[in-house]
A and B are shown apart, each in its own frame.
Chain A
């Protein structure tokens, strides 16, 4: 049969397909939005009390609220691709997926990215609206926001590639929940999900900077809140570096993991 569509077209189609399936995930998105609203409401009050009369802090309570809204926006946008890959491998659906003319990890990544992009757009509206409403000001400034907000999306893209790698480990481990648990805790602590890393002891902040998590959360969120171009550039460079590193890791790992998978084949 005559073929003319470019090979990348299938990955774009997978992205668009999963992006369009947002209709079927209304309940899930509503749940995420609700969680975000409760979290921001609690922390806005908590920080108002905690920072009352304190002029020493590196961030004001309003900046912290915006910071939290931005980091949660990224984390809540991440789609659980590793869970789906684990399910494919455990159920044997993987055989059908591997028999298709595509790269399995790339197709999974693009599908997850489509879901995440829909999450990102919807949760973005929620996060910004809530932070604006609860703090009473649009802190980053509209131009800084428009200029730096792509950094949050690239943070989601970076997070998704690491979660895809985690999913690939299901070829070897079958159950990747322990890895997912470590990943969540690492984002929480080393990424500075609730508090910026500048609040941490020096040694922990320095240690965190050797991991990909600050490039996903701390650096882009701080760049937005403080409107610092230097931080935004640092975030961008680190994101590109970690992304390339992750790609090399996939290239190296995939053949080994696929071979390991043979243990449960047959």
Chain B
């Protein structure tokens, strides 16, 4: 199978009700003929995904990531444009398409809160119309991979978030979906649980040739899982690039926040850009492709005594801004 997801010039406009006006007559008029504001969530989005690809859809809040996933899963209809997922028009064939796709919506659960995990998974078997034999074999396989054997007889309400997310993934993969949509799957998880989740999804995708479309604010999810990155902003596709290329341009940077005993900053290097330069406090953007982070720290320490140093990834918002600026300059 070639392209499994096709979006051609897809737009989505939400009509949001305007705040009711004050005054009796104005209020009554608003009641009978409410005024709305048009909000564009997607603006002529073009997107194609090949079978087996693992694609990250990233962007700031309100960029249109979740709307894209909802349109691709048939939950919402686009205002215009053509959408095809596994050869089907999602909004017209939502129920049929749902048999071939899997979804994990962040902190929304698809398990029954008051039931044991096993009973919830048994329900998934009925919902996805699986035979008993296939269900048993697949459950056994997924329990081994996701290490959830011990959790099966526990009520969902008594699981930790990490344990529950592993069970959510088992539920999403039971029917061997051809495409897995992950909307913020690691939100709220600790470092170990995140790492486990990423590893398990990657393993399943490689084993079954499953296509993955991920939205996340966590660059770790993107780096570990995906080989292609789509950046959208204000509903438009800004960048469609191989992860290695994008990484070298943006993810290969680290943010160094330093508080010094000295008032003056005299550290200069071609791989270092000051994002903030104030007496005692500075934020340095280090290009790790040209200067390793330990070298940068050594150079900072060589300036004199320091009160505090923290190293962090470049916030996604900064990357988006940089990409947006770059796209704007190209115009």
Per-residue CB contact flags for chain B residues 42-73 toward chain A (1 = under 8 Å, else 0) read 00000000000000000000101011001001
Q: How many residues of B contact A (CB 8 A)?
A: 47
Q: Once the chains bind, are B103 and A96 in contact (CB under 8 Å)?
A: yes
Cβ–Cβ < 8 Å partners of A1 in chain B: 128, 130, 134, 138, 175-176
At the interface with chain A, which of B14-22, B146-154, B214-222?
B14-22
In the complex, A10 Cα to B125 Cα: how many Å?
8
Among the listed B39, B99, B122, B125, which residue makes an inter-chain contact with A101, where contact means beta carbons less than 8 Å apart?
A: B99
Contact of B14 among A3, A17, A95, A263 (CB under 8 A): A263
A92 interface contact, C-beta 8 A: yes
- Scoring A14, A21, A93, A265 by chain B CB atoms within 10 A of each residue's CB, the highest score goes to A265
Contact B75–A17 (Cβ < 8 Å): no
A24→B114 contact, CB < 8 A: yes
Per-residue 0/1 for A223-266: is the Cβ within 8 Å of any B Cβ (1 yes, 0 no)?
00000000000000000000000000000000000010011011
Tell me which residues across on chain B come within 8 A of A4, comparing CB atoms. Answer: 129, 131
Residue among B77, B131, B134 making CB contact with A262, cutoff 8 Å:
B77
The answer to whether A17 and B98 have CB atoms under 8 Å apart is no
CB distance from A163 to the nearest CB of B (A): 21
Find out whether the CB atom of B129 lies under 8 angstroms from the CB atom of A95: no
Contact flag A99-B73 (CB < 8 Å), given A5-B131, A17-B123, A263-B15? yes
- Which B residues lie within 8 Å of A90 (CB)? none
Cβ–Cβ contact B14 & A10, under 8 A = no
Within 8 Å by CB of B98, from A2, A13, A99, A262, lies A99
Q: Determine whether the beta carbon of B119 is less than 8 Å from that of A17.
A: yes
Interface residue tally for chain A (C-beta within 8 Å): 31
Q: What's the least CB distance linking A171 to chain B, in Å?
A: 12
Q: Total A-B residue pairs with C-beta atoms closer than 8 Å? A: 104
- Say if the beta carbon of B249 comes within 8 Å of chain A: no
Q: Complex Cα distance A17/B122, Å?
A: 10
CA of A93 to CA of B129 in the docked complex: distance in angstroms? 22
Interface residue B115 (Cβ < 8 Å from any Cβ of A): yes
Give complex CA distance A6, B130 in Å: 9
Q: Which residues of B77-133 are within 8 A (CB) of A?
A: 77, 94-96, 98-99, 101, 103, 105, 108-110, 112, 114-115, 119, 122-123, 125-131
A-B contact pairs, 11 of them (CB 8 A): A1-B128, A3-B128, A5-B131, A13-B127, A95-B75, A96-B103, A96-B105, A99-B98, A101-B99, A262-B14, A266-B12
9 A-B pairs with the lowest CB-CB distances in the bound complex, closest first: A13-B126, A101-B98, A3-B129, A96-B108, A99-B103, A10-B126, A1-B176, A5-B129, A101-B99
Known: A1-B176, A101-B99. 19 other contacts (CB 8 A): A1-B128, A3-B128, A5-B125, A5-B129, A5-B130, A9-B129, A13-B122, A13-B126, A17-B123, A21-B115, A92-B105, A96-B109, A99-B181, A100-B110, A100-B127, A262-B76, A263-B15, A266-B12, A266-B66
